[in-house]
Amino acid sequence: MVNSFDIIPKYWYNIIPDLPKPLPPPRDPQDAEFSRIDLLRKILPKEVLRQEFTIERFVKIPDEVRDRYINIGRPTPLIRARRLEEYLKTPARIYFKYEGATPTGSHKINTAIPQAYFAANEGVSHVTTETGAGQWGTAVALAASMYDLESTIFMVRVSYEHKPMRRTIMELYGAKVHASPTDLTEFGRKILKENSRHPGSLGIAMSEAIEYALENNYRYLVGSVLDVVILHQSIIGMESINQLEAIGEEPDTIIGCVGGGSNFGGFTYPFIGTKKGKKYIAVGSSEVPKFSKGKYEYDFPDSAGLLPLVKMITLGKDFIPPPIYSGGLRYHGVAPTLSLLVKEKVIEWREYTEEEIYNSAKIFMKTQGIIPAPESAHAIKAAIDEALEAKKTDDKKVILVNVSGHGLLDLSNYESMKNRVMKK
Amino acid sequence: MVAYMTLGYPNVNDFYEFVDNVEDFGVDILEIGIPPKYAKYDGPVIRKTYKIVSNNIRNYYEILHEVKERIKIPVVILTYLEEYVDKLGDFLLKLKESRVDGVLLPDLLIDYVDEYEKYVNLIKNEGIKTVLFTAPLMPDDLIIKASKLTDLFLYYGVRPTTGVVIPISIDSLINRIRTMVQSKLIVGFGLNSIEDIKKAMSVGADGIAVGTSLIEEVDKNGVNGALELIRKLRGVLDEYY
Ligand SMILES: Cc1ncc(COP(=O)(O)O)c(C=O)c1O
């Protein structure tokens, strides 16, 4: 099959005007010495910031961006998980959207491309970002190279040392990758002075990336949480709607995993907005229990507190997850729109343990042959549970699940998960 | 045209001079900010004035009383409900005694959206007008409802905070609300370029509210600078009436 231009939507979908309640605006902390909202103007590309605050329901995808989407293999496949259905002996039909089919292995490229494009359009020559395990950094490195931008990636030192292959991929795409904390920024130097072998953290890497962008008048690209990122990720849901229509299916239950909320929001919001589907399930990790233990309050999106406060379900910006399987679900908060929809009970949530998702990932590997990203395995676990539930009542419902990435670069995580689960 | 000034800024004498002249320079409604502890939705410029004023002035209501002695145009108080939610009766009584016309609470439809009608009624029962604050992030049905409850005008804050000029599409933001509401529509928050103001007026705003840029003028060129800016903006608005 040749990539189909017809399936790829021309518009991103924005849920803001369709929310049941006003979305609390971002704000500066009480007695702030500087305005974080003002800071956004200096670090984000103009058009990215404009889209962050747009209320248009449908935002046109620039032709150049749509072209790049096609270039990276969009539309990504929507696959009926027949072998999984047979294995579970469920009457439900299970479909999964496979974002792992993109070159960088996850949905992150969907927002990296437009952000890099908008930066390049403004005459910016260089972009920065942070990365933990490397999914987001890889996506930025590729997107930057597409628009002949230079990129500097601040990679948390422990990952830099333990995930050298991720670093290699970023460097092959042309990025400069530094183990954070670095001596390139004031913040990094301060940390290094206290501890020259500091293992780093996402918060530190983020502060460094922002400071480096500010200092050099580069632009900073954002990986999740902000509304604009979910807007760009809505390509996943819009595409799925077209793909389902093409085969005459209507979904009942729609499922995704939640780190910051971008793949989940991008996947489900177009369905919620057009009133397709009956049940939406957001899946987090039991080890980062933000849905069950988090509070709905204003908090910083970044651990360093450089971005404006937003109202969200959060465990607090200083939350440190236990040292189990790593991955993109360790984030302390839930994107503001998603938090609001969970509060208003439009969206349900689940949380699963490492052991539960390991076993579900194994079933998915066995039946569909795909090694899912550990994050995505959470959504798969919920889909399996829903399918087994349907079996009890002989419900022939349609379950739609987003597999946000493949796990081929997370093999060391699977290795350590396996060891822990076996020990039990 | 709605002009905003923080109560007693930069000092009481200069503030009175500003008040005495605003009407002549073209202001229709004067909006006066009473400093809260936490100006949740204000930018750095207005936050700074709150700090200065709250350090220097003891009795806000005395000054408000004096303001009403000096001018005839309506005076609307801007402050945060959060600050007064536990002592609202007392606050409203004091506002009534100082004879101000209305009150605008930017957090009413955001942080108190589940019970805003209750507060609107409490305020109106005291004989004080309620100017409702709306923003692009509010759902359509809430904006429509608010436009029916509001007195004087509906305030539409087009940016997430005052005085920070986040890039936005003013025309599409205002187009959307103009087609939904019949009430008078005053647009504010980060409006300071002539180009933005012209755009806002040409797509159907009934007027604008300026604050941060007036304060910046006061800081740079004193009260006269601010008054001159009002005259200039008034000229721009008059092209649309
Ligand atoms: C494969 C994959 N899925 C999901 C996530 C979670 O992030 P978000 O909720 O922003 O989509 C990540 C984050 O790193 C990821 O790499």
A79 and A96 Cβ atoms separated by less than 8 Å: yes
- B219 is a catalytic site residue: no
Mean pLDDT (whole number) for A67-95: 97
Residue A371: how many CB atoms within 10 A of its CB? 20
On average, the pLDDT of chain A sits at 94
* Global pTM value: 0.93
Q: With the C-alpha atoms ordered A410, A177, A231, A334, is the resulting torsion angle positive or negative?
A: positive
> Cα–Cα distances in Å, from B76 out to A25, A298, B104, B116, B132?
23, 29, 7, 18, 11
Establish whether residue A224 lines the binding site of ligand 1, counting it when its CB lies within 6 angstroms of any ligand atom: yes
Give pLDDT tens digits for B49-71: 999 999 999 999 999 999 999 99
Q: Has residue A233 got a pLDDT over 60? A: yes
Mutate to test the interface with B, among A31, A54, A55 (most CBs of B within 10 A): A55
Give pLDDT tens digits for A160-176: 998 899 999 999 999 99
Least CA distance to A14: which residue of chain B? B137
Range of lowest pLDDT (A86-95, A158-167, B100-109)? A158-167
ipTM for the complex shown: 0.87
Pairing of strands A93-98, A11-13: unpaired
Give pLDDT tens digits for A268-297: 999 999 999 999 999 999 999 999 999 999
A136 and A108 Cβ atoms separated by less than 8 Å: yes
Write out the DSSP string of A103-141: TTSBTTHHHHHHHHHHHHHTT--EEEEEESSSHHHHHHH
Q: Which pLDDT score is estimated for A331?
A: 87
Instruction: Measure the CA–CA gap between A60 and A381, rounded to whole angstroms.
Output: 34
Least CA distance to A38: which residue of chain B? B164
Q: Does A17 touch chain B (CB under 8 A)?
A: yes
Give pLDDT tens digits for A30-76: 988 889 999 999 999 999 999 998 888 999 999 999 999 999 999 99
Residue A79: how many CB atoms within 10 A of its CB? 17
Q: Which pLDDT score is estimated for A421?
A: 86
Mean pLDDT (whole number) for A203-227: 93
> Three-state SS across B183-220?
CCEEEECCCCCHHHHHHHHHCCCCEEEECHHHHHHHHH
- Report which secondary-structure segment, H or E, holds A349: strand A348-352
Measured from the Cα of A263, ligand 1's closest atom is: 11
Task: Spell out the residues 6+ positions from residue A198 whose beta carbon is closer than 8 angstroms to its own.
Answer: A157, A181, A191, A192, A204
Q: Which pLDDT score is estimated for A162?
A: 86
Q: Does A39 touch chain B (CB under 8 A)?
A: no
Mean pLDDT (whole number) for B104-109: 96
- Tell if the CB–CB gap between B137 and A27 is shorter than 8 Å: no
A326 confidence band (pLDDT: 50, 70, 90): low
Instruction: Measure the CA–CA gap between A192 and B93, rounded to whole angstroms.
Output: 58
User: Is the backbone peptide bond immediately before A181 cis, with ω within 30 degrees of 0?
Assistant: yes
Mean pLDDT is highest, among A145-159, A317-331, B185-199, for A145-159
Residue type present at position B25 = F
The widest CA-to-CA distance across chain B, in whole angstroms, is: 45
Q: Which pLDDT score is estimated for A6?
A: 84
Half-sphere exposure of A299 (CA within 13 A, CB side): 23
On average, the pLDDT of chain B sits at 95
B162 and B41 Cβ atoms separated by less than 8 Å: yes
List residues of B whose CB lies inside 8 A of any A CB. Answer: 37-38, 40-41, 43-44, 47, 109-111, 113, 135-140, 142, 159-161, 164-169, 172-173, 176
Instruction: Give residue B61's Cα distance to chain centre.
Output: 18
